[in-house]
Chains A and B, each alone.
Chain A
Amino acid sequence: MSVTLSPPQAVRRTESVDVAPRPYWNPYVAGIALGLVLVLTFYLMGSGLGASGALTRVVATAEDAVAHPAVASHPYWSNYLGDKPILKDWLVFEVVGVFVGGIVASLTAGRFKVTSEKGEGVTLRQRAILAFTGGIIVGFATRFARGCTSGQALTGGSLLSVGSWAFMFSVFAGGYAAAWFVRRQWR
């Protein structure tokens, strides 16, 4: 295919590499848009957004597939068993939507790129290990908190839930406390 490429197309292709991605939205504009999505969610569904709940259902489904009796008698997992499939849940469908929304937005903004994000202070291998480690800690933490930045900070925050606000301040406290130790990753 590339052999039959005509000169104008070749030129256009080289140019497209140098096209800068569209700028991000102003943070206050993005915040208002996000808040309106949340109001729409409350109005339609009577509950807010979420993300970690969907991941929990993926784990529950996997464990149920390999060890159903253990899941059925497990003090935490047994709550996820019911008459319908564990994944047939609105949070799971919402998170699939988040993924697709991310694809559409990054493609249309010229920001889609298969890469890993990191500062110059760490190697790709170190970045993968840190991303995985951070993921383990975050996953673990969401179960104590009963949610994450979506389900607690955004949703519970806007509904003025005391626990959600305590969670949000704790997230910032934990992040600022640990930031110094991983500063090389982001420089």
Chain B
Amino acid sequence: MNGPLAPLGAIGEEAGLVVAFVIGGLFGFVLERAGFGSAKKLAAVFYGRDMAVLKVMFTAIVTAMVGVQYLAVFGRIDLSLVTVPPTFLAPQIVGGLLFGVGFVIGGYCPGTAFVALGSGRKDALWFIGGALMGIALWAWGFPAYRTFYGSGSKGEFTIPQWLGAPAGTVAFAVILIALGAFWVATKVERRFGPCETGPEEARG
């Protein structure tokens, strides 16, 4: 059957909620296995000690990017029915910078906080409580930055559209950039990571 199923009406609203729960379960399971239920492991990416966050994220992005384009090339998915997050450049850059600051202070992002909560981490509960308050505060002040929030709207705007290049070429470039990032990340880990114990120490 060709996808995406829900927009084509093959998955109803109620069934979609069950699918959502199952997909969320897989998502949470993999995040935990990657080590993302641990604030220390997540924050370590910002100190160069453990670059797993960068490696997992870029591998996932490359895998999904190749996977979805592969399905599209063979006509198994209609990409025009897949929702691309719209671009609002300035608010997304400001939001991203603030998000990074909050991430290293709090030790989690919203998704991983739920994985950590499921792993029994009490600090994740504080983080989630804070995030709820931050959202409420933002909405409270919304009239003040309403114009900024809607500025620079470009709709569904992709890198191939921006550069006027075929999606396959951009995908190939993204893969090369990811490989370069993995190489740098491994170098960084060797420089800042925990000292590896030599054979003598390991025996003692």
What sequence of 0s and 1s flags, for each residue 44-73 of chain B, a beta carbon within 8 Å of any chain A beta carbon? 111100011011111111111101100100
Residue of B nearest to A105 (CB): B32
Q: Is B85 part of the binding interface, using a Cβ–Cβ cutoff of 8 Å? A: yes
CA distance A119 to B1 in the complex (A): 50
Partner of B92, one of A32, A114, A116, A152: A152
CA distance A155 to B85 in the complex (A): 8
Q: Is the CB of B133 within 8 A of A135?
A: yes
Q: How many A-B residue pairs have CB under 8 A?
A: 547
Q: Is the CB of B157 within 8 A of A93?
A: no
CA distance A117 to B28 in the complex (A): 19
A134-B103, A186-B43 in contact; A140/B98 too (CB < 8 A)? yes
CA distance A96 to B22 in the complex (A): 9
Q: Is the CB of B138 within 8 A of A140?
A: yes
Complex contacts, A166 vs chain B, CB 8 Å: 87, 89, 92-93, 96
Chain A interfacial residues counted at CB < 8 A = 120
Q: Is the CB of A141 within 8 A of B143?
A: no
Q: Is the CB of B82 within 8 A of A42?
A: yes
A15 CB, nearest partner CB in chain B, Å: 21
B136 CB, nearest partner CB in chain A, Å: 5
B55 CB, nearest partner CB in chain A, Å: 4
Residue of A nearest to B53 (CB): A27
Complex contacts, B110 vs chain A, CB 8 Å: 51-52, 54-55, 138-139, 142, 148-150
Q: Is the CB of A139 within 8 A of B117?
A: no
Chain B contact patch, size range: 35 or more
Q: Is the CB of A98 within 8 A of B89?
A: no
Q: Is the CB of A139 within 8 A of B55?
A: no
Q: Which of A140-180 contact B (CB under 8 A)?
A: 140-179
Q: Is the CB of B68 within 8 A of A42?
A: yes
Partner of B4, one of A44, A52, A152: A44
Q: Is the CB of A112 within 8 A of B120?
A: yes
Complex contacts, A169 vs chain B, CB 8 Å: 96
Partner of A144, one of B31, B98, B121: B98
Partner of A30, one of B30, B100, B156: B30
Q: Is the CB of B59 within 8 A of A138?
A: no
Q: Is B154 part of the binding interface, using a Cβ–Cβ cutoff of 8 Å? A: yes
Complex contacts, B64 vs chain A, CB 8 Å: 35-36, 38-39, 42, 154, 158
Q: Is the CB of A43 within 8 A of B99?
A: no
A34-B60, A37-B23 in contact; A43/B5 too (CB < 8 A)? yes
Q: Is B75 part of the binding interface, using a Cβ–Cβ cutoff of 8 Å? A: no
Q: Which of A74-91 contact B (CB under 8 A)?
A: 74-77, 88, 90-91
Task: List residues of chain B with CB under 8 Å of any chain A CB.
Answer: 3-8, 11, 16-35, 37-41, 43-47, 51-52, 54-65, 67-68, 71, 76-77, 81-89, 91-124, 126-139, 142-143, 145-146, 149, 154, 156-162, 167, 170-171, 174, 182
Task: List residues of chain A with CB under 8 Å of any chain B CB.
Answer: 24-25, 27-28, 30-49, 51-52, 54-56, 58-59, 63, 74-77, 88, 90-106, 109, 111-119, 127-128, 130-179, 182-183, 185-186
12 sampled A-B residue pairs with Cβ under 8 A: A31-B63, A32-B63, A42-B3, A59-B135, A75-B142, A94-B21, A118-B40, A118-B123, A139-B135, A170-B94, A178-B100, A179-B47
Query: Considering the complex of A and B, which 6 residue pairs feature the smallest CB-CB distances, nearest first?
Result: A134-B106, A135-B130, A97-B24, A31-B59, A174-B100, A35-B63
